[in-house]
Structure 1
């Protein structure tokens, strides 16, 4: 099954797979963003994070491969009374705009194997303007034992050394490893092995 079919299937239900409330790490770090910034939410699924940032006054573009996810993101934005730019995008082929955003947000985008992940990270870095931020949260390999969400493939998971290498030359403002309980709909529920990154692109 291709990625689009897989995620359209996961988002097909009436309920929101990962809930409608924003990711906690994102809410904790959102104060770092410039007021009314241009923000890209990568693989934003059903839109919970993009809608949150739009409600804070940011100009948000949410991209995802799944039409079903984008439709639910559009519905959520309408219910919350915010404007959200939506674009269907296959990250394996998307043309990342150069220096297009004040911040790029990537929350649990671990569908990518190492080769695709390297292309996505390079694209995220390309899309961030000088002085802009990348905010990223993902699962560590220990997550497999918890079995509370995320991929089952160890190669798709993150560790501290890998993220430091991937963002060599960037100013790492925050890099934290922690085990925490998260409740994000039925898709992410329970104790989780997490890693958080905030990195600033050199001016």
Structure 2
């Protein structure tokens, strides 16, 4: 489905600017640290992190999106290691990252989400951060992006439970106008989670 969606468009479906979430949390994007961008799409978020001086690996399944991400990185003159990966079925990089970022990755229901979160947690080094940004269930009222399935959408309580035992650095649900290409456009119901993995 995602390859069809990207291939049907001649331009970037979600634009080339990063999600505002990353701009809101620049204090965590520290040059020299390693980051993994999960289901990164067309590269706008991984490229932005690389522009901030992070060493970034990006996982994405759709070949058209990977091609656009590589082109965007070249245009911005930064390096991102783009990897073709089905994040639920293929192996992830054998590394522990300072940041594991998942932005608008709500294409799965509860079972797939549990696996997503488990893999993200495993990829995070002790003391590192998972940074999640997505839609709450109220997003169904707006219909301005994201999946049309209630079970795919987040609640703060769901995210807190999913990262039980981790330090919750940020957990906030809010509404904001989002203009990110044609894919995300209009008032949106959002939630941010930043959670720190225990040191031991």
For Structure 1 versus Structure 2, the TM-score category normalised by the shorter chain is: over 0.9
Partner of 2:88: 92
Please tell me whether residue 106 in structure 1 is matched to residue 105 in structure 2: no
Partners of 1:182 and 1:189 within 8 A in 2: yes
User: How far did residue 100 of structure 1 move?
Assistant: 1.6
Partner of 2:183: 187
Partner of 1:145: 141
The answer for unaligned runs of 5 or more in structure 2 is none
Secondary structure of the corresponding residue to residue 14 of structure 1? coil
What TM-score do you get using the length of structure 2 for normalisation? 0.96
Partner of 1:19: 15
User: How far did residue 94 of structure 1 move?
Assistant: 2.5
Give every structure 1 segment of 4 or more consecutive aligned residues whose post-TM-superposition deviation is greater than 2 Å. Answer: 94-99
Partner of 1:52: 48
Q: Distance in 2 between matches of 1:131 and 1:97?
A: 19
Q: Distance in 2 between matches of 1:94 and 1:192?
A: 32
State the superposition RMSD in angstroms. Answer: 1.0
Partner of 1:9: 4
Q: Distance in 1 between matches of 2:134 and 2:188?
A: 10
Q: Distance in 1 between matches of 2:94 and 2:61?
A: 20
Partners of 2:29 and 2:52 within 8 A in 1: no
Partner of 2:35: 39
User: How far did residue 97 of structure 1 move?
Assistant: 4.5
What whole-Å deviation, never above 9, does each CA across 1:137-181 have from its counterpart, x for those lacking one? Answer: 010111011010000000000001100100000000000010110
The answer for unaligned runs of 5 or more in structure 1 is 1-5
Partners of 1:103 and 1:133 within 8 A in 2: yes
Partners of 1:64 and 1:90 within 8 A in 2: yes
Secondary structure of the corresponding residue to residue 19 of structure 1? coil
Partner of 1:158: 154
What whole-Å deviation, never above 9, does each CA across 1:108-138 have from its counterpart, x for those lacking one? Answer: 0000111011001000000000000011101
